[in-house]
């Protein structure tokens, strides 16, 4: 019984954190301006990134994941001059369309950020990565990328949110 209470308590805290992030991201984004905001400004508003990707010419892209509770992932590029050159929410139909058969898992991760879940299907020798996203105006859906044993994309699909209807609309 005690472990059940702990599990529900953790779930409640995760839900609260997702709700708070949903409210914080728009404010943080509104306080940043491409070409003017610095790396320090980004770190102050978003915190430490989940991952830093090196770009050509000395730029770096900070990955900010809001999965599995949220419905958005952000990539923020800091130029070699230390100023923010781009801030993108990457869980969009346009980005999903760029994921093609044959791409490797690292390319997909770099494009979309960390998935909400990863499930291995031993009998099919496949791994399914899933990102939850907001399909305007208020539907939550899931984008699935299925990898073969070589970690290359076999297929993609958009389907219903695996966790059911979600009325938060945030993330």
Domains of the chain in start order, with CATH, are 2-89 (3.30.1450.10), 93-160 (3.30.1450.10)
- Sign of the four-CA dihedral 133, 34, 60, 29: negative
How would you label 100-136 residue by residue, b for 16+ Cβ within 10 Å and e otherwise? eeebebeebbebbbbbbeeeeeeeeeebbbbbbbbee
* pLDDT category of residue 165 using cuts at 50, 70 and 90: low
pTM beyond 0.85:
no
Instruction: Identify the pLDDT of residue 162.
Output: 84
What is the rounded CA–CA span in Å between residue 132 and residue 91? 8
Contact 131, 143 (CB under 8 A): yes
The answer, yes or no, to whether residue 117 has pLDDT greater than 60, is: yes
User: Residue 62 has which token pair?
Assistant: 């900070």
Selection from 30, 136, 113, 26 nearest residue 66 by Cα: 113
**Number of alpha helices (DSSP H) and beta strands (DSSP E) in the chain:** 4, 8
Q: How far apart are CA 141 and CA 155, in angstroms?
A: 17
Q: 156 with 99: CB under 8 angstroms?
A: yes
Largest Cα–Cα separation, the chain: 56
What confidence tens digit (pLDDT) does each residue in 56-114 have? 999 999 999 999 989 999 999 999 999 999 999 999 999 999 999 999 999 999 999 99
Question: How much is the pLDDT for 103?
Answer: 98
Region of 58 please: left (phi>0), alpha (psi -120 to 50) or beta: left
Rounded percentage of the chain residues whose pLDDT exceeds 90: 72
| pLDDT grade for 26, boundaries at 50, 70 and 90 | confident
Percent of the chain with pLDDT over 70: 82
CA gap 134, 167 in Å, rounded: 10
pLDDT exceeds 90 at position 9:
no
SS3 89: strand
């Amino acid at each position: 019984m005690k472990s059940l209470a702990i599990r529900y308590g953790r779930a409640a805290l995760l839900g609260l954190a997702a709700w708070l992030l949903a409210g914080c991201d728009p404010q943080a984004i509104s306080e940043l301006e491409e070409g003017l905001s610095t790396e320090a400004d980004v770190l102050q508003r978003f915190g430490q990134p989940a991952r830093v990707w090196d770009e050509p010419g000395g730029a770096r892209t900070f990955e900010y994941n809001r999965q599995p509770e949220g419905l958005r992932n952000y990539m923020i590029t800091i130029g070699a001059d230390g100023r923010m050159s781009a801030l993108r929410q990457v869980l969009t139909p346009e980005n999903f369309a760029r994921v093609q058969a044959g791409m490797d898992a690292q390319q997909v991760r770099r494009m979309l950020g960390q998935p909400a879940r990863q499930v291995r299907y031993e009998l099919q020798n496949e791994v399914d990565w899933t990102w939850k996203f907001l399909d305007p105006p208020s539907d939550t859906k899931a984008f699935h990328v299925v990898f073969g044993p070589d970690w290359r994309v076999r297929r993609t699909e958009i389907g219903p949110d695996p966790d059911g209807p979600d009325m938060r609309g945030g993330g």
